[in-house]
């Protein structure tokens, strides 16, 4: 259903929001790891239609990632063990960032690492660029602590957030792992350590088995589960985190439609990230945006930002 131009203009205004002081034309963010640096999708449509783009996870040095097979389809979702393949921070700054800046869309740099020093050095270098927000991926294994992931406990999440906060000159958003016992406690710990926002959930750990070979489907054995299958878990965790925080929460996990976006906002998300949907449907971004514009047109006078945390539990 087409919306008259005047009504569409009004609907677009209703979609505007702000994240960490950065104006977003709508609450849709292309999630890190599923959108690359936007080049391939920009061949299909103008990626400036997104509220923001979170780029592929960056490490201090370039990485080739894990050996294949690295992707496996699962019921209502997918497993990935890509292994943070990326050009490194300097490669991003020199080769990808100039092109992205031309797209006039807010840029979120997702940073990963395996030691505190790596995180801090990456963030220090990125802080002097024109990116808008830094997203700290704390689902990585800390090699200095025997491979324990940075985000598994409030203490370790606080420690890495605090260390990065000291060198970060940009708004700092921490991406939380769902593979924890108390997501609210971890979220609160990052806020107290200086985070300006949190994003969740990252992928759930899972695996798949090939019965013909009696071997794991993924070469890395386990991988990260994403897609519609994780949405109920994601909604629950976003609701729990947003309930205890005084900073914005960005929700993600199985978002495929405009209605999914509204659900995440109602449980407390200021904005949302769309991940696996981009792989299942390369036109997911503009399609979901169109559905939100339709909602805003049909609910004239309602700003999407007014839906944040409006869930009724009585």
Cα atoms found within 13 Å of the Cα of residue 26, Cβ hemisphere only: 27
Among the listed residues 285, 266, 255, the one whose alpha carbon sits nearest the alpha carbon of residue 52: 285
140 is catalytic: yes
For residue 238, give the H/E element and its range. Answer: helix 231-244
- In sequence order, the β-bridge partners of residue 174 are 136, 198
Which pair of tokens denotes residue 303? Answer: 């700003």
Decide if 240 contacts 183 (C-beta within 8 A). yes
Phi-psi region of 105 (alpha: psi -120 to 50; beta: other; left: phi over 0): beta
Which pair of tokens denotes residue 131? Answer: 């990116």
Residue position matching structure tokens 């740099």: 109
Pairing verdict, β 141-142 and 148-149? antiparallel
Catalytic position from the list 49, 140, 145, 168: 140
Which alpha helices (H) appear in 38-181, and where do they start and end?
Answer: 39-42, 88-91, 97-102, 116-127, 154-165
Which pair of tokens denotes residue 181? Answer: 């016992």
> What 3-state DSSP class applies to 228?
helix
Q: Catalogue the active-site residues.
A: 140
């Amino acid at each position: 259903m087409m919306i008259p131009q005047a009504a569409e203009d009004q609907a677009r205004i209703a979609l505007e929001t702000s994240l960490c002081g950065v104006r977003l034309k709508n609450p849709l963010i292309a999630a890190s790891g599923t959108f690359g640096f936007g080049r391939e999708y920009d061949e299909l449509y103008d990626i400036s239609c997104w509220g923001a783009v979170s780029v592929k996870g960056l490490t201090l040095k370039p990485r080739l990632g894990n050996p294949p097979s690295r992707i496996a389809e699962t019921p209502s979702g997918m497993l990935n063990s890509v292994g943070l393949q990326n050009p490194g921070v300097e490669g991003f700054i020199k080769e990808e960032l100039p092109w992205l800046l031309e797209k006039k869309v807010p840029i979120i740099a997702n940073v990963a690492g395996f030691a505190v020093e790596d995180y801090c050095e990456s963030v220090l270098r990125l802080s002097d660029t024109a990116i808008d927000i830094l997203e700290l991926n704390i689902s990585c294994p800390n090699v200095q602590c025997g491979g324990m992931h940075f985000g598994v406990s409030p203490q370790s999440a606080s420690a890495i957030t605090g260390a990065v906060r000291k060198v970060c000159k940009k708004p700092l958003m921490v991406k939380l792992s769902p593979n924890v016992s108390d997501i609210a406690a971890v979220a609160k710990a990052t806020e107290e350590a200086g985070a300006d926002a949190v994003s969740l959930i990252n992928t759930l750990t899972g695996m798949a088995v090939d019965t013909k070979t009696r071997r794991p489907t993924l070469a890395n054995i386990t991988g990260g589960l994403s897609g519609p299958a994780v949405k109920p878990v994601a909604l629950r965790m976003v609701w729990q985190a947003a309930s205890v925080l005084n900073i914005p929460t960005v929700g993600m996990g199985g978002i495929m439609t405009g209605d999914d976006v509204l659900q995440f906002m109602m449980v407390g998300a200021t904005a949302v990230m769309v991940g696996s949907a981009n792989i299942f449907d390369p036109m997911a971004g503009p399609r979901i945006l169109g559905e939100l514009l339709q909602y805003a047109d049909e609910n004239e006078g309602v700003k999407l930002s007014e839906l944040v945390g409006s869930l009724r539990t009585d």
